[in-house]
Structure 1
């Protein structure tokens, strides 16, 4: 059932208003913090008011305006979009609190927090896009809004990273534009709906080109190899920006776009008949392993996190490409599982850097003795990535393995085992050094991170545990994920 509702537009609009207020009145620290945190909280509450209806199958819609012939900017809150918006808006509150503490005494905070708010506005616009054109518009706006954050420090390395980021993401946007034009030509529409826009276009010679263009375009921000090169370079940005790139907005926009392409543009039945997703699953599997091996070679905390992100994102792509109910469930819930665990890691990295000045993994030795709460958050996230039961990452690996067996792809089980071992190889030694070796070379008086840096890490770590144990609690995000699977895939929810 579709219901016209202005809240669909207000959700992205609140952050847009916040950005304008920050740019105009944000030179005063108190006002800037009030605008930024207030908008984040209001947005979360507004999206939560849409949650009960979404869980019951209500689809909220709002059409902004049309271009001739019959193509327009429109918004639609279905199960998948609601799940993405809920995850991103929840994380945005935590990231905002963290950024206020982290960016204290830094330069150009008005510019930073103004574009910070614009990024969340465009992210919710992506989540609530009702058609491929609206999705493309907000997707490209996200690229533009993120660029000033990537180059915030304005060092030669930051400016180089920004140029590389633009080169990759704008090229990806051009491919999505090509795919959008081809979809309009083949289907006569760009509107998302159950079953797929192109369900009746089997046999059309342009179908392969449309699929490759859209997958490659969204695959840039989803960091599918070999389209991943911009992300490790972008780690020169401030830690709140890295959290934004890896957990909240940018890379999540890429995998969300791929989910829309598979479930809403092509549809499961058409793709199952065409066999296009077989090579996509193979590419995702390669990315999972190759990026994990690359992570093993990194000694810098944030660079290891970057390569870990590249690997973890492909869990989502693999789940969608397998075209089975359990795999679809794994793909969607991993949007949340990876986001909360990854942002916990970045919060910890920034807290350690601000408190001790340390950025290398070997320098975390003994930190559990002087920063126990910070390293507890790190340990929870690490165990989740390994896939230990009762942690969020285990849920993903379990359902992705079942989804592989549903598809007759037994190798997915082996892939999950290999990935778990690789994650253990590059995270558990750090956990051991932090807790079971004495501190080395710390300045006298080093203690826990400031509350504004520590509290968001602890809350996100707690959510990692919550996602691991609350798989069937009504009203929790996992239940919403099942509703999203039922709505977008047309292949039924996992039992």
Structure 2
């Protein structure tokens, strides 16, 4: 017998899948179809929140779905770190659902039924990744996420979109082959794939084999978009903006960095990573990506592509935190997942709002647009300031922990990476703020028809910005509480 609480992980995954079916059935009736999208988002958030008290109390919720092989069943397990991802995705999917409806209807986009169907299956996959009990389950949901997001990337069906889709599939499916190889090798070495706090690989193979295995995992988690395996992400910006927001904040890239942290804490363990010298490898990859991606962002005039390179850079903050192999560093890495998600989705929401309200995608064409879209422009400014790590936005929290982690881990040189990144953040964001709020348009009449976006789009922009402030003011409720539990689980230590 499985109690009601034990069924909640399954219910959480099934809700968006049922909604996907109803979206197809009701495709010709857009109000009903979109109603199922919103209703499912609400129900899924309720289901996730219903598990939160148990997880905060230190409990774990586990359920086996399909017996596959000893130590590798298709199974779900909810723990504190998984809840960080799941809660973030559930909240943002709800807001993204309202935003998507406003965006798609405003632009009278085609194939809306396919669009919302794919989004529903994708969020189910993301929740499956968050709640995976083992590597086999994670692999299954990870690959489903790759396939189901392809139609979203190529949604506009232009030659450029189709080319971007081919690149998207090439990177992610090849990465999937590497991840499959890593999972198979792990099973051969240990006879299990189940996640264990502190890891389970120690003593299972010679150091060289475990180092090669880690590289397989890193290439497998190409969704983390570390350089040079990042090219798919900027290319995918040809997709509709709600898709861009979904890729960057709700599911795809978050799944990549989530996987890396999961491998570090629940497959290898920090002590084993240190003994194998893998922290240094991660630090080099992360530092190179953080700085180089920021330099690329400086050169982009297309707002969505600049934000894409910002994401490539910001995601590697999480890899950098893991590389420190310290309690504070891992804390910063885990905390940065929801912090970056709320800030970055705001920025993409604004990019989409400018497209809908003004038809503009290039930063140089947005001079003075804040005069007609003041709320939208101010929200963008707040989120951009947050990415730079300035108060009163949540970005400061993860940067402080990462800085502490560099000192605690005995790698103070990584402080220079954080400082350089912060300067570059300001260099590619502050000119956008100046362009929107201060610069005068080349032609005042060009802004005559511009106004704030529809409320279905504007309200989510405001809410995600406010959420970032609230996370800064009340970080423990609930994200840092969850992170603290996860850190103690894998290290036996408490957050400093």
Superposed, 1:231-380 pairs within 5 Å as 231-380=233-382
Shift of 1:204: 5.4
Determine helix, strand or coil for the equivalent of 1:359. coil
TM-score (norm 2): 0.96
Looking at structure 2, the residues matched to 110 and 398 of structure 1 have their Cα atoms a distance apart, in angstroms, of 43
CA shift at 1:397, angstroms? 1.2
Q: CA RMSD in A?
A: 1.4
CA drift of 1:491 comes to 4.5
Aligned to 2:451: 447
Corresponding residue number in structure 2 for 1:466: 470
Deviation at 1:205, TM superposition (A): 4.7
> Conserved in 2, the CA contact under 8 Å of 1:485 and 1:493?
yes
The separation in 2 between residues aligned to 1:306 and 1:409, in whole angstroms, is 28
Match of residue 51 from structure 2? 50
Secondary structure in structure 2 of the residue aligned to 1:5 = helix
Q: Secondary structure at the match of 2:61?
A: strand
The question of whether the paired residues in 1 share the 8 Å contact of 2:297 and 2:307 is answered with yes
Alpha-carbon separation, structure 2, partners of 1:238 and 1:150: 8
Mapping of residues 29-428 of structure 1, within 5 Å: 29-104=30-105, 105-201=108-204, 203=206, 205-218=208-221, 220-428=222-430
What secondary structure is seen at the aligned counterpart in 1 of 2:23? helix
Whether the aligned pair in 1 keeps the contact of 2:211 and 2:276 (CA below 8 Å) is: no
CA gap of 1:406–1:15, structure 2 versus 1, over 3 A, is: same
Deviates more, 1:169-178 or 1:196-205: 196-205
- Residues 205 and 403 from structure 1, CA distance in 2 versus in 1: closer, same or farther, beyond 3 angstroms? closer
Once the two structures are TM-superposed, the CA of residue 69 in structure 1 deviates from its matched residue by: 4.1
- 2:406–2:412: 8 Å Cα contact kept in structure 1? yes
Equivalent residues of 1:101, 1:452 under 8 A apart: yes
What are the Cα deviations for residues 399-423 of structure 1, in whole angstroms up to 9, with x where unaligned? Answer: 1010000011111211111111001
Give me the whole-angstrom Cα distance separating, in 2, the residues matched to 1:418 and 1:34.
46
Q: What displacement does 1:436 show?
A: 2.0
CA distance in 2 between partners of 1:69 and 1:127 (Å): 22
Note the residue ranges of structure 2 that are not aligned, 5 or more in a row. Answer: none
Instruction: Name the count of aligned residue pairs.
Output: 490
Residue pair 2:82, 2:131 contacting (<8 A) in 1 also = yes
Bigger mean CA deviation after superposition, 198-207 or 165-174: 198-207
Q: Does structure 1 conserve the Cα–Cα contact (< 8 Å) formed by 2:372 and 2:447?
A: no
After TM superposition, give the deviation of residue 439 of structure 1 in Å: 3.8
Paired residues of 2:71 and 2:191 also in contact (CA < 8 A): no
User: In structure 2, how many angstroms separate the alpha carbons of the residues matched to 1:451 and 1:69?
Assistant: 52
Unaligned 5+ runs, structure 1: none
User: What's the TM-score once normalised by structure 1's chain length?
Assistant: 0.97
Give the distance between the partners of 1:268 and 1:436, measured in 2 at CA: 48
Q: 174-183 vs 24-33, which deviates more?
A: 24-33
State the alpha-carbon separation in 1 of the partners of residues 271 and 32 from structure 2. Answer: 52
Instruction: Give the distance between the partners of 1:452 and 1:462, measured in 2 at CA.
Output: 16
CA shift for structure 1 position 70: 4.8
User: Which residue is equivalent to 2:436?
Assistant: 434
